[in-house]
A and B are shown apart, each in its own frame.
Chain A
């Protein structure tokens, strides 16, 4: 079982727990195999996380430290290249830079899993 944000959901993933909206009404029940339409609904309802069956290999992908060092290094290199001219040492830049490295690492990990 793994936790996923609605944006990271893919068609065919199976819900491992019921999903409720903010009013506590049930949207989808456990065991549902998600369709594109249902993913749209989850996204537009502002659901934070849903539990998905399987995905034991899934790491909690919001934390950069959970990626293998080689992937982090590659992501870091790609992002820093694009940030070459953004020289401000402002803490906001640092945070955004780190978000971008995490996002890039996620992409690379996904590509490597697909191979």
Chain B
């Protein structure tokens, strides 16, 4: 880990921890002796989580043709392995409540959700296995910025001020002022949380996917999803400009220009509904 990040940001007493329900689910899913019913029981103990999972299983995200009315049914629709990622997706926002609102938090999550949806739609289009990890990757791609806002609010204000004055990307100004950017911090956070390596790479290298060590194609999809959703103005994380487009990432992705129309159409079809599920205050 970059020693600067470690020194400035990783103060053990204030680091957000993953929700307990996620570790329980992860343990249960990874244990071959656990039954479907055991896992369903863990979920049912968390009302918010079970409600969101049910709504998600019934949404355009899965496009399942009949109504899914119980948690075991929802687990069948989502799939056990993928479910781990979706469980984390649905509780990650709770972890970051109370971050100083240097940008509108709802807009921040809307951008993150859009990026996740877009990356997952591309992955499905490319017949990638386990497409939910792309959703989670997109959802977390700018998570480091929230840690920076939380731990370094004054410098964050300076970075945002500079961004108003100069025609430079926010991540470049983060590096200039802090010595690291949100992608570095995001990767370090996921590492600290012991999340899988693939997910760490998605967050650490999405700005420059060719630097990824093992999963260049996967990282490329997050890069492209960030580009497309920023271009379409979905949500807001502080960035004023559409990011640089990596031609290499496009090449690695395996996508064809003709796929773009379907991808954007599908993204727009799912966007509002999925945002509603994740951001509903009533939940």
A contact residues vs B (CB 8 Å cutoff): 5-7, 40, 43-44, 46, 82-88, 90-93, 95-97, 99-100, 103
Main secondary structure of the interface of A (DSSP, over half): helix
**24 A/B residue pairs, CB under 8 Å, sorted by A:** A5-B265, A6-B269, A7-B272, A44-B63, A44-B273, A46-B60, A46-B269, A82-B233, A82-B241, A82-B242, A83-B231, A83-B241, A85-B242, A86-B241, A86-B244, A87-B244, A90-B245, A90-B250, A96-B231, A96-B260, A99-B260, A99-B261, A100-B231, A100-B232
| B242 in contact with A88 (CB, 8 Å) | no
| B241 in contact with A84 (CB, 8 Å) | yes
Q: What 3 A-B pairs have minimum CB-CB distances, sorted nearest first?
A: A88-B245, A44-B60, A85-B241
* B228 to chain A: closest residue by CB: A96
| B240 in contact with A82 (CB, 8 Å) | yes
Tally of chain B residues near chain A (CB < 8 A): 31
B243 interface contact, C-beta 8 A? yes
Q: How far is the CB of B104 from chain A (nearest CB, A)?
A: 18
B59 interface contact, C-beta 8 A? yes
Interchain CA distance A85-B268 in the complex, whole Å:
25
Name the contact of A88 in the complex, choosing from B58, B247, B265 (C-beta under 8 A).
B247
Residues of chain A lying within 8 A (CB to CB) of residue B33: none
| B273 in contact with A85 (CB, 8 Å) | no
| B59 in contact with A44 (CB, 8 Å) | yes
B264 interface contact, C-beta 8 A? yes
| A83 in contact with B242 (CB, 8 Å) | yes
Q: How far is the CB of B138 from chain A (nearest CB, A)?
A: 17
A-B contacts counted at CB < 8 A amount to 73
Interchain CA distance A37-B127 in the complex, whole Å:
32
Interchain CA distance A28-B172 in the complex, whole Å:
52
B contact residues vs A (CB 8 Å cutoff): 58-60, 63, 167-169, 227-228, 231-233, 240-247, 250, 255, 257, 260-261, 264-265, 268-269, 272-273
Q: How far is the CB of B241 from chain A (nearest CB, A)?
A: 5
Interchain CA distance A31-B58 in the complex, whole Å:
27
Q: How far is the CB of B47 from chain A (nearest CB, A)?
A: 23
Residues of chain A lying within 8 A (CB to CB) of residue B233: 82, 100
| A96 in contact with B269 (CB, 8 Å) | no
* B58 to chain A: closest residue by CB: A44
Interchain CA distance A84-B227 in the complex, whole Å:
13
| B260 in contact with A92 (CB, 8 Å) | yes
Interchain CA distance A82-B230 in the complex, whole Å:
9
Residues of chain B lying within 8 A (CB to CB) of residue A88: 244-247
* A90 to chain B: closest residue by CB: B247
* A86 to chain B: closest residue by CB: B242
Name the contact of A86 in the complex, choosing from B245, B255, B268 (C-beta under 8 A).
B245
Q: How far is the CB of B25 from chain A (nearest CB, A)?
A: 26
* B245 to chain A: closest residue by CB: A88
Residues of chain A lying within 8 A (CB to CB) of residue B227: 86, 96
| B63 in contact with A103 (CB, 8 Å) | no
Known pairs A96-B228, A96-B260; A85 contacts B167 (CB<8 A): yes
| A7 in contact with B269 (CB, 8 Å) | yes
Residues of chain A lying within 8 A (CB to CB) of residue B257: 91-92, 95
